[in-house]
């Protein structure tokens, strides 16, 4: 099979397939989106203007039998941070694109008119179709309509009204096998970039899921089987994630005293267990939902869930960070309220973490009282109507903080800080401060060694060792994000010496390469260099690699600690 780029010029309406140039052949996922953005997008361009591009890429292993390998990377210049962005999603689109031999979909240019389009991709080719009838609709409805029109098995990559309105917290979503449009490349406002191109949806129709070309099938099969065993035999990936999903973290982060509560004022929430994964599993099962679920076929860790809501709809899944941002962060101790806020975000097309951080800032400002679930729901419902408050919510935490004169705004590079307080989980603090993505827990998930004791142990309350920990995790993450493997494989890979070699073996068998483990880590380093270079050219300096001031001024109970990793040390993270 010849690998293709699908390039869509939204200015002219031209849709064409290109043979992938040599230099991009060994790249996939984040490595590919970031390299393409770096090569083709001027760093100083307007994120919503004609020079920005939206790049959608499956990972290197996506579309094969490699377990949990169907993650999708979406890249571009972020309207939220002004820097480079790769947002990573589950769902079924990645495997389908890979099965069609498409290494990346590139949306570029900007249409002059006000018409909206849908990009339809099938084994026969690709075309732009009129989509004005889909505008203004939520992602669930758009996905249902497209599945009705183009077949139940299609993947629908889409934006909600928030993306159409070009608000900087808008995400890009796609669906799971059941048609839930809840698998978000949420962070950084890439939904607004897609909206600026006037593409409401990309529908991908592929008859196969696991048949992406593999050079040495027998060798690949053996490696994939071994990797599945590695995942299944590690206690976290084999039992913890399948049993309770990611929200199992709620209680341990609370006990560790690093659960940001009341907009990062406290490190513990008295109702944490009410909104935890254990409770979620209990309620979901009692209501006929599911405590374990795969976001795409072939995932063996199945961390997802299906939570039936009182109104008869389902929210699938509720992830830990979302439960946190609408729960403890807002002092809301009711899973049904959290599910409702989550569902509205999925439907209107907003990143949940950013929206939760923004609601926290609005509560800080007194616009809505803390703990007022009904008030939060009502405010969030304003986004679809495009009211001024709705637009402020869609503009993200940093912007909302400016509008309301709030200084306790948990954001770095304009992007909201997720579910682990950097003062009592300092390794994550280093990651928030320094990753080219803006505050992002996944970019270097130091919770592993800080709290979960996976991949070693570094005391979360002391600055020592955090820079090195974050650096190594950021490198490994950039590599994993390029393979299409779910980042959660890291729990097993960090502990099992066979993990990384087995990933490399899969890559070698698929592409007929001779990579070593070092080559994989070098790929991670290369990705980070490219991303950082882009940000430097976009105008970022070391001043942007810092946490908000209040983290070094206000002590976080119960440990009463501030963020005290030295600035000079933060500046060493990319010294490799």
Partner 1 sequence: MEVEVRVFSGLEKFVPGAGPGKAILVQVPEGATGRKLIEQLQIPADQVFTMFVNGWHATPEQVLRPGDRVALFPPIGGG
Tell me the C-alpha distance between 210 and 124, whole Å.
19
Tell me the C-alpha distance between 302 and 89, whole Å.
14
Tell me the C-alpha distance between 261 and 68, whole Å.
32
Using the CB atoms, write b or e for 103-126: b if 16+ within 10 Å.
bbbbbbbbbeeeebbbbbbbeeeb
**Residue 295 touching ligand SF4 (CB under 6 A):** yes
Shortest Cβ distance from residue 68 to ligand SF4 (Å)? 5
**Residue 308 touching partner 1 (CB under 8 A):** no
**Residue 182 touching partner 1 (CB under 8 A):** no
Which DSSP helix (H) or strand (E) runs through 221? helix 217-233
**Residue 219 touching ligand SF4 (CB under 6 A):** no
Does residue 97 contact residue 58 with C-beta atoms inside 8 Å?
yes
**Which residues 6+ apart lie within 8 Å of 201 measured at CB?**
118, 119, 131, 134, 142, 146, 156, 157, 158, 159
Residues in the chain: 576
Tell me the C-alpha distance between 133 and 346, whole Å.
20
Which partner in partner 1, ligand SF4, none is near 244 (CB below 5 to 8 A by kind)?
A: partner 1
**Residue 466 touching partner 1 (CB under 8 A):** no
Tell me the C-alpha distance between 391 and 385, whole Å.
9
Q: Closest Cα partner for 239 from 271, 277, 289, 184?
A: 277
Does residue 236 contact residue 492 with C-beta atoms inside 8 Å?
yes
Half-sphere exposure of 514 (CA within 13 A, CB side): 0
- Pick one of 132, 208, 239, 542: the residue that binds partner 1 (CB under 8 A): 239
- Pick one of 177, 559, 562, 571: the residue that binds partner 1 (CB under 8 A): 559
Q: Which residues, 254 to 273, sit near partner 1 by CB under 8 A?
A: 255-257, 267-268, 272-273
**Residue 185 touching partner 1 (CB under 8 A):** no
**Residue 244 touching ligand SF4 (CB under 6 A):** no
CA 540-541-544 angle, 5° bins: 80
Stretch of residues binding partner 1 (CB under 8 A), selected from 110-118, 335-343, 350-358, 485-493: 485-493
DSSP symbol at 220: H
Which partner in partner 1, ligand SF4, none is near 302 (CB below 5 to 8 A by kind)?
A: ligand SF4
**Residue 279 touching partner 1 (CB under 8 A):** yes
**Residue 293 touching partner 1 (CB under 8 A):** no
Measured from the Cβ of residue 521, the count of other Cβ atoms closer than 10 Å reads 17
Q: In what order do the strands lie in the sheet with 125-130?
A: 125-130, 117-122, 199-204, 155-158, 172-174, 183-185
Stretch of residues binding partner 1 (CB under 8 A), selected from 70-78, 139-147, 313-321, 405-413: 313-321
Strands annotated E in 363-481: 411-412, 415-416
**Residue 90 touching ligand SF4 (CB under 6 A):** yes
- Pick one of 153, 226, 262, 302: the residue that binds ligand SF4 (CB under 6 A): 302
How many residues interact with partner 1 (rule CB under 8 A)? 47
Q: Which residues, 30 to 69, sit near ligand SF4 by CB under 6 A?
A: 68
**Residue 302 touching partner 1 (CB under 8 A):** no
**Residue 459 touching partner 1 (CB under 8 A):** yes
Q: Which residues, 479 to 538, sit near ligand SF4 by CB under 6 A?
A: 486, 488
One symbol per residue from 417 to 456: x for binding partner 1 (CB under 8 A), - otherwise; what is it? ------------------------xx--x-xx---xxx--
- Pick one of 140, 220, 227, 244: the residue that binds partner 1 (CB under 8 A): 244
Shortest Cβ distance from residue 291 to ligand SF4 (Å)? 12
Stretch of residues binding ligand SF4 (CB under 6 A), selected from 116-124, 301-309, 361-369, 510-518: 301-309
Binding site for partner 1 (CB under 8 A): 235-237, 239-241, 243-249, 251-252, 255-257, 267-268, 272-274, 276-279, 303, 319-321, 441-442, 445, 447-448, 452-454, 457, 459, 461, 487-488, 491, 558-559
Binding site for ligand SF4 (CB under 6 A): 68, 90, 241, 294-295, 299, 301-304, 486, 488
């Amino acid at each position: 099979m010849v690998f293709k780029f699908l390039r869509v010029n939204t200015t002219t309406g031209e849709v064409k397939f290109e043979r992938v140039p040599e230099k991009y052949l060994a790249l996939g996922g984040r490595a590919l989106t970031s390299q393409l953005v770096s090569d083709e997008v001027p760093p100083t361009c307007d994120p919503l203007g004609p020079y920005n591009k939206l790049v959608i890429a499956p990972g290197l292993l996506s579309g094969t039998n490699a377990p949990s390998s169907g993650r999708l990377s979406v890249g571009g210049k972020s309207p939220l941070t002004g820097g480079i962005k790769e947002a990573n999603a589950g769902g079924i689109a990645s495997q389908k694109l890979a099965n069609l031999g498409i290494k990346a979909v590139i949306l570029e240019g900007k249409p002059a008119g006000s018409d909206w389009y849908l990009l339809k991709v099938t084994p026969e080719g690709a075309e732009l179709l009129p989509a004005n009838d889909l505008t203004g609709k939520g992602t669930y409805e758009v996905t249902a309509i497209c599945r009705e029109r183009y077949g139940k098995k299609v993947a629908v990559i889409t934006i909600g009204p928030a993306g159409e309105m070009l608000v900087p917290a808008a995400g890009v979503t796609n669906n799971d096998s059941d048609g839930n449009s809840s698998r978000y490349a949420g962070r950084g406002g890439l939904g607004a970039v897609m909206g600026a191109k006037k593409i409401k949806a990309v529908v991908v129709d592929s008859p196969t899921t696991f048949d992406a070309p593999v050079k040495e099938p027998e060798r690949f099969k053996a490696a994939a089987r071994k990797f599945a065993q590695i995942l299944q035999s590690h206690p976290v990936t084999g039992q913890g994630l399948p049993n309770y999903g990611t929200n199992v973290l709620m209680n341990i982060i609370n006990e560790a005293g690093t659960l940001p509560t009341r907009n990062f004022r406290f490190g513990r929430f008295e109702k944490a267990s009410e909104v935890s994964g254990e409770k979620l599993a209990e309620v979901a099962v009692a209501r006929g939902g599911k405590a374990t679920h795969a976001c795409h076929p072939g995932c063996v860790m199945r961390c997802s869930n299906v939570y039936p809501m009182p109104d008869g709809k389902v929210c699938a899944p509720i992830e830990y960070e979302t439960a946190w941002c609408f729960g403890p962060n807002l002092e809301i101790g009711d899973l049904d309220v959290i599910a409702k806020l989550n569902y509205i975000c999925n439907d209107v097309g907003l990143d949940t973490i950013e929206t939760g951080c923004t609601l926290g800032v609005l509560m800080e400002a007194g616009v809505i009282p803390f703990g007022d679930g009904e008030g939060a729901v009502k405010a969030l419902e304003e986004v679809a109507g495009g009211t001024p408050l709705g637009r402020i919510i869609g503009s993200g935490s940093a912007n909302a903080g400016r509008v309301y004169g709030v200084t306790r705004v948990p954001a770095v590079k304009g992007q909201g800080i997720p579910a682990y307080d950097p003062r009592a989980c300092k390794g994550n603090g280093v990651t928030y401060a320094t990753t080219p993505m803006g505050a992002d827990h996944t970019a270097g998930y130091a919770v592993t060694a800080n709290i979960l004791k996976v991949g070693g142990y570094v005391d979360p309350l002391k600055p020592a060792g955090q820079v090195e920990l974050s650096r190594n995790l950021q490198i490994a993450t950039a590599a994993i994000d390029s393979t299409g493997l779910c980042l959660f494989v890291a729990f097993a890979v960090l502990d099992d010496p066979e993990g990384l070699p087995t990933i490399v073996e899969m890559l070698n068998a698929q592409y007929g390469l001779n990579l070593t483990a070092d080559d994989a880590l070098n790929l991670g380093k290369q990705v980070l260099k490219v991303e950082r270079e882009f940000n430097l050219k976009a105008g970022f300096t070391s001043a942007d690699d810092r946490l908000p001031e209040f983290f070094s001024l206000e002590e976080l109970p119960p440990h009463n600690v501030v963020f005290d990793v030295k600035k000079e040390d933060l500046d060493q993270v990319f010294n490799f």
